[in-house]
Structure 1
Amino acid sequence: MDPITIVIATRNKGKTAEIRALLKDYPVEIKDVTDFGPIPEPVEDGATFDENAYKKAHFTARILGLPALADDSGLEVEALGGAPGVHSARYAGPDADDRKNNEKLLREMEGKENRRARFVCVLSLAVPTGPALTYEGYCEGEITTEPRGSQGFGYDPVFYYPPLGKTFAEMNLEEKSSVSHRGKALREFRDEFDKVLVWLRKRLAEEKRLLVGDICQHDHA
């Protein structure tokens, strides 16, 4: 059987390489949006990670006419009512970088005893006509009182994971992948990938049939 092309809805080469390695034993060709020249950016205005992941995946699939995989992830802090949540990347403003986001979070957490937090990741695999599969991963931890470690990105320096006694920024990639929200969602996706392939082949065959039907109808018009 011919391999299926799946587009990762990202320009982050690290993410693409991670997913390519994860699915290396399956008949798929992994590309990302950088392989297709300039394409419009999806609007991420969903109220949940689930909505945003689906919006990105469906938008990319529709534009390119290929199955697309997108993820949306962020940090939810209990004492802040779930903030920064879907606004994690822009928590300190539209031009914020990781350092500013972390500084704002630590300011908001000053004097708070409850420091429980969790990272959330939702993966969405969509086909051009709309249907999608969804996978979720979570990692529970605590917010530190100051940044620790130099690895990773985002909120990693302030997210402490008690079972390993380290922040995400103090872990190597292997340690982080084994416990992280994205690692868990991706492993769930990989563990079900035989079923995913069956689903994809069925959906893509249906799309082809619909397309051929449309063309035939058009010819007879």
Structure 2
Amino acid sequence: MLKVLLASRNAGKLREFAELLPELHFIPWPAEAPELPETGAFFQDNALQKAEGARAWWREHGAEPVDGVLADDSGLCVDALWGGPGVLSARFAPDLLAYQDKNRRLLAMIPDGADRAARFVCVLAYAPLEGEACTVSGSVDGSLAFDHRGEGGFGYDPIFIPDGQDRTFGELPSETKHTLSHRARACAALRARLGLD
């Protein structure tokens, strides 16, 4: 089993990756490690920045050997907001701590009668301890709900309704979400790329 450092302290992401990639043993980004950069213009740029930054830090300070580093950059792209918040999804509404409040603010920004189409995008970067990093991606189309619905998932899940469903990712059981989500699709691509199938 590959031992992989996850370049994230997001507990929701750690839980999802453990469920979506049971072939990997994940080590979370430690509390004492620095914040990782996210200054790219695109999801791929940010994922690579985080994976390569985490690998460099771990080589100097890592408490145990790992086979590689996995980083994720993902976000919600809303047509009525010109693709926003997009790569800024994690930094949207920094004055609000609770995602329920962030979600309601985002929904309030959608003009009345506007198209509510949206998509979730996920780019994963995997950096082996030695060698070149690679990226894979996944996305799912859908629309925005009119309010925060459901307590499952995390982040923007309770306001996103995937195409073909009438419930948000916050309302759907995780087993259903894991057949549809952007992160599930990116993980399937990573599994194929690493020869884990």
For the aligned pair, the TM-score class normalised by the smaller chain equals 0.7 to 0.9
Deviation at 1:147, TM superposition (A): 2.0
Q: Which runs of 5+ in 1 are unaligned?
A: 197-221
Counterparts of 1:6-85 in structure 2, within 5 Å, are 6-20=4-18, 22-25=20-23, 29-34=25-30, 38-65=32-59, 67-85=68-86
Per the normalisation by structure 2, the TM-score is 0.85
Deviation at 1:121, TM superposition (A): 0.4
C-alpha distance in 1 between matches for 2:115 and 2:15 = 37
Conserved 8 A contact 1:58-1:130: no
Per the normalisation by structure 1, the TM-score is 0.76
Q: Secondary structure at the match of 2:164?
A: helix
- Amino acid across the alignment from 1:41: E
Q: Secondary structure at the match of 2:102?
A: helix
- Amino acid across the alignment from 1:64: W
Conserved 8 A contact 2:145-2:160: yes
Deviation at 1:94, TM superposition (A): 4.8
Conserved 8 A contact 1:157-1:167: yes
Conserved 8 A contact 1:153-1:169: yes
Deviation at 1:175, TM superposition (A): 0.7
Structure with greater Cα Rg = 1
Counterpart residue number, 2:117: 116
Counterpart residue number, 1:137: 138
C-alpha distance in 2 between matches for 1:195 and 1:179 = 20
Q: Secondary structure at the match of 2:84?
A: coil
The structure-2 alpha-carbon separation of the partners of 1:91 and 1:20, relative to structure 1 and needing over 3 Å to count, comes to closer
Counterpart residue number, 1:219: none
- Amino acid across the alignment from 1:187: A
- Amino acid across the alignment from 2:29: V
The structure-2 alpha-carbon separation of the partners of 1:113 and 1:91, relative to structure 1 and needing over 3 Å to count, comes to same
C-alpha distance in 2 between matches for 1:8 and 1:61 = 10
The structure-2 alpha-carbon separation of the partners of 1:129 and 1:194, relative to structure 1 and needing over 3 Å to count, comes to closer
Select between 57-66 and 37-46 the one with higher mean Cα deviation. Answer: 37-46
User: Which of structures 1 and 2 has the larger relative contact order (alpha carbons within 8 angstroms, sep 6+)?
Assistant: 2
Deviation at 1:113, TM superposition (A): 2.6
The structure-2 alpha-carbon separation of the partners of 1:108 and 1:130, relative to structure 1 and needing over 3 Å to count, comes to farther
Select between 107-116 and 93-102 the one with higher mean Cα deviation. Answer: 93-102
Conserved 8 A contact 1:102-1:155: yes
Q: CA RMSD in A?
A: 2.4
Whether 1:177 and 2:172 are equivalent positions in the alignment is no
